[in-house]
Structure formats: structure tokens, C-alpha cells
Amino acid sequence: MKVLMILRFNHIMLKQFRHQVMLVANAIDVTFSKGDAIAIDMQMTVNAVIIYLAIVLAGCVVCYQFVPNGTQCPEDVACVGEVGLFPIYMGATDRLLNADNEEVYFKGMPIYKGKVLRRHGDIIKRTAGGRFIGQGRADDTMNLGGIKTSSVEIEHVCDRANKGILETAAISVSPANGGPEQLVIFAVLKKGYNSNAETLKRKFSKAIQSNLNPLFKVSLVKIVPDFPRTASNKLLRRVLRDQMKRELSIQSRL
């Protein structure tokens, strides 16, 4: 089966590009069944890239748009969620050697088109304006007082703790001289807002203790202009963690 699709345009913005890709992906998803072969016969242009991406996306879906109970989050509401794949796609495993495939990839995932989505592991944030920001891995966890928790969970609470917060990054570090892990929050302020670390520390601690666990305590808040990110815009928490470890090491020698 050969399919030739041409989308005509001279200039395209990222939002339009994404929209075109999803339109073609949805059309492929509706038109073809599992096992159908699709051949593309065209030069490698922007149009071709759209179609190639659409073919991949026809078997996948990103579930950052879903809230925990599986209902779709409104387009004009900011939300954070884990990337989910439509479970039928090339290369998907159905068994693991040293773990339960169902437990690892499907437990707790929402349902889309009658099928449970497959867990990917990356966290995506969608802003109210429709921008997408990579948040790193869902399994980026920390151990606070013997309780394992996710950086993303803490950041989600801290982002709402103060109207002047643009975004936060949560990491844990062990003191240079040993001891339990300490929770450190890096914060980027919105343009035009001012605050100090001690004020934010109190607000973050209160929000975390009210929404996550009353035993969690913020040890330190660092206000920074921006966060280190990968080329694909994923948050590099390990860079922040290494930076904090160096600072604590220097302080311990003073």
C-alpha cells in the first residue's frame, strides 16, 4: 500500500508543524489497521518530515494531557504528566526477564481509545499557553527521612506555592560530613517579581507539608535566573545536584 500526502505551505511555526503532524497521524490511525504497510515516496522536505513523524505518532499518544483519573485536561489549563505510548507499536515488549512487564509499564496508566497506555518514563509540562517543557525522568526520585518521593511531585506543589514562581527544581543532597539527604529547591522567578530565599523556604515547606507529607522539610532554597537543560529542553537536575554538592563541600572546609 503506497500513500502519498502533500501538505502545501511556505512557512510554518512550531505550533503549526505539531498540528499538521497530529492531523496526519490521526488520519493514519483512523484509516489503517495494525499490520498495514505504508510506503512514502517523496523527497526529504518539511512535508516528508511531517509525514514520517505522523506515521510514528499514529501508534503513539502523549498523555501529558490527562489528569490522574484518565480524563482529559482542558487545553487552557497548565498540567504536568508522564508520557504514555499507545501500547501497539513496533518494538514494544510484552515480557521482561527480571521484572513484571505489566507492573513496570502499565500499572496506574490512563486508558485511551479503550487501551491502557504504556508508560514511557519522561515527564512533560504543558503550560496554559500551549508550550511544552521537558521535566526529566519520572523515576528521578529522592529519599527524605526514609520516604521515597519524586522530584516532579515536589516541584508541582512548589510551583503553586507563590504567584511569583515561574518554575522550580527539587533535588536532594547528602551533607559533606554525612547524614540524611536534605531537600534543596532551586527557583526561577517570573519577570518583575522579587522574593528572598528564606521567604520561599517557609512557603515551600508549608505547601509540601500540607500537600505531600508533614515530615518533609526544605533545607535550602536557591534563587537562580534559569535552569540547565538538554538540547531537547529537559531539565538537568544532576547538574544542579553536582553544583549543590560542590557548594556544600566548600562550606564544610571553611
Mean pLDDT in order along the chain per 10 residues (254 residues) = 36 56 58 50 50 49 46 70 68 69 78 79 73 68 81 92 94 81 95 94 96 93 91 80 86 72
> Residue 223: its pLDDT value, please?
97
Compute the distance between CA of residue 17 and CA of residue 47 in angstroms, rounded to an integer: 10
User: Letter for the amino acid at 232?
Assistant: S
> Residue 120: its pLDDT value, please?
75
> Residue 225: its pLDDT value, please?
95
> Residue 253: its pLDDT value, please?
73
> Residue 175: its pLDDT value, please?
79
> Residue 31: its pLDDT value, please?
54
Compute the distance between CA of residue 90 and CA of residue 21 in angstroms, rounded to an integer: 19
Q: Using N-to-C axis directions, what is the helix angle for 46-57 and 14-31, rounded to 10°?
A: 50
Domain ranges of the chain: 14-57, 66-126, 140-253
pTM listed for this prediction = 0.53
The CA R_g of the chain, rounded to the nearest whole Å, is: 22
> Residue 122: its pLDDT value, please?
73
CATH 3.40.50.1000, domain 140-253, yes or no: no
Distances (CA, A) of 62 to 117, 146, 164, 195, 207: 9, 33, 29, 35, 29
With residues binned 3-state (H G I as helix, E B as strand, rest as coil), the percentages for the chain, rounded to 5, are 30, 25, 45
